[in-house]
Amino acid sequence: MPDIEWVYIKINGIALKVPKGEMIIESAKRIGVEIPFFCYHPRLSMKEGGANCRMCLVEVASRMPDGSLRKMPKPQTSCSLPAAEGMEIETDTEALNADRRGVLEFLLINHPLDCPICDRGGECPLQNNTMHYGPPTTRFIEEKRHFPKAYPLSQYVVFDRERCIHCARCTRFTRDISGDEELNFLWRGADMEVATFDHTEYNSRFSGNVIELCPVGALLSRPYRFKARPWDLQSAKSICTQCSNGCNIKLDYRLDRIHRVNARLNEDVNEEWTCDKGKFGMDYISDESRLKTPMIRRNGELSPASWEEVLYLIASELKNAEGEVAGVGGAYSSNEDIYVFQKFMRETLRSKHIDHRMGPNFQSYNSGLLKRFGCPAMGNPIAELEDMKSTLIFGSNFVDEQPILYLRVRKGWRFKRNKVVEAAPQGLISEEIRHVTQFAEVSLNYKNGTELPLAQGLLAALFEDKGRPLGEQKLLSHLSGKNVAQCASETGVDEKDIRKAAELLATDKMCIFAGEYVTHSPDATAILEVLGDIAVLTGNAGNLNVPVSRNNEQGAMELGILPDMLPGYVEEQNPGMNTEEILSACVKEDLKALWVMNTDLVKEYHNSDLANSAMDACPFVVVTALAITDTAAKANVVLPVHSVAEKWGTFTNVERRVQAFCKAFEISPDIHAEWKVFSDLSSMLGSPMTYADGKDILNEIVKSVPTFAKCGPNTLGDEGVILNPVAGGKE
């Protein structure tokens, strides 16, 4: 912990010790004193438009150098008032109440009386503050400001300009957090309005957050518009399923319909943000297309069947298959489903052919990482990223692949002056203007496919930098004898840039991200070796991050949906087949049955021809699915399974954090949890599994998989728990 200088202040006569310079509005929170506010937000900077609403006024008396107290003649805004030794603050005086009434009366002059139809009504700070501190009536009888209602800012956000109170939260968000700087103020005074440049579309990957930030109903969600009022909704704690970052969210639902998704605070993961993929992408849960009964292929057509019938059919087919069975998928299922699935395949069906990977790359890049650094994916927890003095983003469309990690890295740059070095293929940067490029100190714009020489160039530059220790001779082997100049000409990057990048990376707190351009490259293993060398050479061994991208892909790795790894990365002696081999075996008719676990295989597998012909050739394909996907349409049996809203369970996110999600509602009693399907089948096949619910399974995982030892259902809490490091495996 850095040294904090503490000061003693008094709020309403209560003495307290706070860090010097902390804003008084925050100090008041420490003792539960409420100060009303609109524009203040701890994650937004005060610069460029902060402290404008004047709602948070307090009376201040400062300590003079001679020790006397001097009361400031006018009230001050507590959101921009840094704590100093001896300050005495009053938050609840007659004068302040009058001031607050005045501020609110002014704010309401142009605010329409829309509460009954406004989507913010019921959870609106303006409404609440007016009820508590506002005047009972207004003296303004003239005509209010008028604008057309419901101006569509973007696909997701509508804007009611009449309601805006000009707090600048949204504009500061786009500058401080999302970094697309889209929103700003146009005009001044009462005519001031939030707008994009030239009223173009508000185009952002994080636009949904401004809806939650806006303290009035000015920025509203388009999909949620008029769907419900806050008191109509019930809410379930959940985890976003749209990517591997695992944002904590609240699913707000009514009966069996998801109406909106709001972020849930988790300082270690998403803070209080979500990206638009997550915020507006969870509708699939209550979509009409959800499958509500099992389907069986009869006379070439999928037709509804009962669970007894399908389970009996599957059990007999699997029995006949005698171990010539394989399973693919699992990256979208909960940890419990995954664990029971691999147990069912390995122990009940005696098959080792399971794999969740869909990409082109089956070299064991993960196990390479694991052996070297003892970490299969991300070496740094998300929260640590903002403290990295320099970050190398290598071959990644970062903002799309890892939205929340992107926000962290950007936060470090914006608020802590960290440096970012980007290496991206040439096509990517020109297409993607809102990319890391915007704030990267150096952008290495390499020729497509030259990831390896570029990484080698960086490593060579680090070696040539005389300030570096040259002891690590064995790292030199990965250079293949190249020097910086050679690498520069091979990659089409300026040699100076490579050297400058290397210089920036040579700090004691540096981390590297390798994105999909690395993991999908044929040279993946070699590139990761070199990137690992860079980490080691700069004294940051272990700070190599190869984040996964799908919902619970990390969980599928941790819990052994891999042909060569049992749960907890215990190596399998005789590995089974990987996805590619499984699909080829299907085509060659070497397998009697294939289980596709809640994955749209033909869409997601990188070689859709192979996936298609495998599905066609395999004599018996079972698909668990939420809806009839292209893959399910080719199956012999389709089983409807629970989505994230219909059961309790856990996911493992990209930083190996296990987080629980709660059941919200049931859509149909004929939709089963995935693990239930496996345990029922296993019992029919003679190896009973007796799990009552997901927590039972998690308890078994905790007992049997050492990495999960701290992740019991009762210890997860709201923030989740990071898995134990993998035993053994570290260079």
Partner 1 sequence: MAETLNRTFTPIAQGMALTLKHYVKMLTARKENIATFQYPEERREQFPRTRWRHVLTRYDNGLEKCIGCSLCAGACPARCIYVEAKENTDENRVSPGERFAIKYEINMLRCIFCGYCQEACPTGAIVLRKDFELSEYSRQDALYTKEMLLEPILMKK
Instruction: Give the footprint of ligand SF4 on this chain (CB under 6 A).
Output: 164-170, 194, 213-216, 218-219, 240, 242-243, 245-247, 270, 274-275, 277-278, 403-404
Identify the residue among 7, 9, 11, 51 touching ligand FES (CB under 6 A): 51
- Residue 160 or 523 with smaller CB distance to ligand SF4: 160
Q: What angle do CA 206, 209, 215 make, to 5 degrees?
A: 150
Return the structure tokens found at 520.
């999908």
Interface contacts to partner 1, rule CB under 8 A: 116-117, 121-122, 149-150, 225-229, 231-232
Measured from the CB atom, the residue of 187 and 226 that comes closer to partner 1 is 226
The option from ligand FES, ligand SF4, partner 1, none interacting with 77 (CB < 5 to 8 A, set by class) reads: ligand FES
Instruction: Centre a 10 Å sphere on the Cβ of residue 644 and count the other Cβ atoms it contains.
Output: 27
Of partner 1, ligand FES, ligand SF4, none, which one does residue 23 interact with (CB within 5 to 8 Å by kind)? Answer: none
* CB of 9 or CB of 194, closer to ligand SF4: 194
Shorter beta-carbon distance to ligand SF4: residue 49 or 563: 49
Which residue's CB is nearer to partner 1, number 232 or number 571? 232
By beta-carbon proximity to partner 1, the closer residue of 160 and 533 is 160
Tokens representing residue 593 in the block: 């049955």
Q: Report 67-126 residues binding ligand FES (CB under 6 A).
A: 77, 79
| Amino acid making up residue 416 | K
Decide which of partner 1, ligand SF4, ligand FES, none touches 290; Cβ closer than 5 to 8 Å per partner kind.
none
40 near ligand FES, rule: CB under 6 A: yes
Q: Where are the alpha helices (DSSP H) in 59-179?
A: 94-109, 125-133, 169-173
Phi, psi dihedral angles at 716 (to 5 degrees): -65, -40
Choose which of 24, 28, 33, 53 interacts with ligand FES (CB under 6 A).
53
Residues paired with residue 660 on neighbouring β-strands, in sequence order: 650
DSSP symbols for 422-488: EEEEHHHHHH-TTSGGGT-SEEEEEPTT-HHHHHHHHHHHHHHSTTS----GGGGGGGTT--HHHHH
Least separation in angstroms between residue 223's CB and partner 1 is: 12
Question: Binds 170, which of ligand SF4, ligand FES, partner 1, none (CB < 5 to 8 A, cut-off by type)?
Answer: ligand SF4
Give the pair of three-digit tokens for residue 435: 């990319």
Q: For residue 184, what are the CA distances in angstroms to 51, 52, 168, 674? A: 16, 15, 8, 47
- Smallest gap from Cβ 39 to ligand SF4, in A, equals 7
56 binds, among ligand FES, ligand SF4, partner 1, none (CB under 5 to 8 A by kind): ligand FES
* Nearest partner of 210 among 245, 238, 230, 180, judged by Cα: 180
Report which residue type is found at 320. Answer: N
Smallest distance from ligand SF4 to CB 128, Å: 15
Cβ(617)–Cβ(586) below 8 Å: yes
> What number of chain residues touch ligand FES (CB under 6 A)?
12
- Residue 169 contact partner, candidates ligand FES, ligand SF4, partner 1, none, CB within 5 to 8 A by sort of partner: ligand SF4
Closest CB to ligand FES among 35 and 377?
35
Stretch that binds ligand FES, among 52-60, 248-256, 571-579, 615-623 (CB under 6 A): 52-60
Please give, one letter per residue, the 3-state secondary structure of 174-208: HHHHHCCCCCEEECCHHHCEEECHHHCCCCCCCCH
37 binds, among ligand SF4, ligand FES, partner 1, none (CB under 5 to 8 A by kind): ligand FES
Residue 87 or 556 with smaller CB distance to ligand FES? 87
The one of ligand SF4, ligand FES, partner 1, none whose footprint includes residue 247, by CB under 5 to 8 A per kind, is: ligand SF4
Q: Which residues pair with 239 in a beta bridge?
A: 248
Residue window 637-676: x/- pattern of binding to ligand FES, with contact defined by CB under 6 A: ----------------------------------------
Closest approach, Cβ 232 to partner 1, in A, equals 6
Query: Binding segment for ligand FES among 49-57, 241-249, 421-429, 532-540 (CB under 6 A)?
Result: 49-57
Distance between CA 440 and CA 438 in Å, rounded? 6
| Phi, psi (rounded to 5 degrees) for 454 | -65, -45
| Angle at alpha carbon of residue 563, lines to 557 and 567, rounded to 5° | 45
Q: Which of 38, 41, 58 is nearest to 99 (CA)?
A: 58
Phi, psi for 593 (deg, rounded to 5): -150, 150
Considering the complex, what minimum distance in angstroms separates the CB of residue 612 from partner 1? 42
Which CB atom, from 23 or from 702, has the smaller least distance to ligand FES? 23
Secondary structure, 3-state, 88-117: EEECCCHHHHHHHHHHHHHHHHCCCCCHHH
The residue from 24, 33, 44, 55 that contacts ligand FES (CB under 6 A) is 55
Question: Which entry of partner 1, ligand FES, ligand SF4, none binds 55, CB below 5 to 8 A by partner kind?
Answer: ligand FES
Q: Residue 622's closest CA among 604, 609, 641? A: 641
- Cα-Cα-Cα-Cα dihedral sign, residues 423, 518, 400, 718: negative
SS3 233: coil
Spatial neighbors of 726 by CB under 8 A, at least 6 apart, are 370, 374, 375, 376, 568, 569, 707
Site for ligand FES, rule CB under 6 A: 37-40, 51-56, 77, 79
